Amino acid sequence: MVIQAVLFDTFGTVVDWRSGVVRDVVAFAGRHGLSLDAERFATDWRGLYQPAMENVRSGRREFVQLDQLHLENLRLVLEAHAVPRSWISDAEINWLNGAWQRLDPWPDSVPALTSLKEHLIVGALSNGNVSLLVRLSKHAGLPWDVVAGSDLSRAYKPDPRAYRFAAELLDLAPEEVMLCAAHNSDLAAARAVGFRTAFVPRRTEHSGHQTQDLAPEQDWDVVVEDLRELPSRLAAELRSPVPSSSSG
C-alpha cells in the first residue's frame, strides 16, 4: 500500500512552542510588572503537560481538552513562580493561555507541508483540541487538509486509539498513513498500530539542555534533518515496494 496521508505531531515537530511561550511570558510579565524567568516558566509549564494528560490516559480523569489542562497547569506555574492569584485577572490568564495559539512554525514546516499537500493528505495529529489547532494553524500558516485534534478521538497520544481514530477518520488503513514526529515515543506508538513513520529531530525544542529525541531510536521508515527533504524522500519510498505492516 502506498502512503495516502502524512499526519504531523504539531507541538515541537511543526511549531516551536518554547520561543512562542517565552515571548508571551515576557510580554505578560512586562504588562504586570512581574519579574519572571520566562525560560524557566516555559519549561515548568510544559513540564506539567505529560502528567496532566496521563491522568486522562490512565482513566483517573475523564477526557478534558488540552486548553483546559494548559489553563490548570498555568495557574500552578504562576503560583510556583510566586504570582499571587489575586494579582491577575482571568482575562489576562486566558490571554497567556492563548500563547499555545500564537506559536511560530519551524522554518521548514510551511514549505514542506505546502509541497506534500500537492500529492498527499496532510494533517495535524496532535494532543491539542481542534479549536486550539485551528487558531494556531491560522497564526502559523499551516495548510492542513484535516485537523485531527484529541477532542475528536477523546484520546491523548500515545494512546493507540488516537492513531486508529485518525486513520478511520480518513477512511485509510493504518499502513496508508505516516506519522511525522520529532518524538521517538510518538512514532513508536504509531508504528505499533501499523502507521509508517518519519522522524525529524528538533534539537532545540527543549532549549540547550535537551537530552531526549536528539536522534532516531528505531529504524523509522524515513529520517530527515529538515522537513523540506520529506517530499523527495517519500517520492523515493513510494517508488520502492512498501513493506507490509509489522503489526498485522
Q: What single letter denotes the amino acid at residue 183?
A: H
Among 1, 64, 169, 242, binds a second copy (CB under 8 A): 169
Is residue 3 within 8 Å of residue 170, measured between CB atoms?
no
CA distance 78 to 28: 11
* 171 makes contact with a second copy (CB under 8 A): yes
Shortest Cβ 158–a second copy spacing (Å): 23
Shortest Cβ 16–a second copy spacing (Å): 21
Which span (47-55, 142-150, 200-208, 239-247) binds a second copy, by CB under 8 A? 142-150
User: Which of 1, 134 has the CB closer to a second copy?
Assistant: 134
* 110 makes contact with a second copy (CB under 8 A): no
CA distance 222 to 191: 12
* 146 makes contact with a second copy (CB under 8 A): yes
Which residues 6+ apart lie within 8 Å of 152 measured at CB?
130, 165, 169
User: Which of 168, 217 has the CB closer to a second copy?
Assistant: 168
User: Which of 167, 198 has the CB closer to a second copy?
Assistant: 167
* 130 makes contact with a second copy (CB under 8 A): yes
CA distance 227 to 15: 12
* DSSP assignment of 126-192: -SS-HHHHHHHHHHHT---SEEE-HHHHT--TTSHHHHHHHHHHTT--GGGEEEEES-HHHHHHHHH
C-alpha cell at 54: 496521563
* 151 makes contact with a second copy (CB under 8 A): yes
182 phi, psi to nearest 5 deg? -95, 5
* 131 makes contact with a second copy (CB under 8 A): yes
* 170 makes contact with a second copy (CB under 8 A): yes
* 145 makes contact with a second copy (CB under 8 A): yes
By CB under 8 A, the residues from 49 to 78 that bind a second copy are: 67
* 90 makes contact with a second copy (CB under 8 A): no
User: Which of 6, 170 has the CB closer to a second copy?
Assistant: 170
CA distance 44 to 29: 16
83 phi, psi to nearest 5 deg? -105, 105
User: Which of 67, 205 has the CB closer to a second copy?
Assistant: 67
Which residues 6+ apart lie within 8 Å of 136 measured at CB?
10, 15, 100, 101, 102, 103, 128, 142
Among 27, 64, 71, 134, binds a second copy (CB under 8 A): 134
* 44 makes contact with a second copy (CB under 8 A): no
Among 113, 147, 187, 193, binds a second copy (CB under 8 A): 147
Specify burial of residue 96 (Cβ count, 10 A radius: 0-12, 13-18, 19+).
buried
**Binding footprint of a second copy on the chain (CB under 8 A):** 67, 117, 121, 129-131, 134-135, 137-138, 143, 145-147, 151-152, 169-172
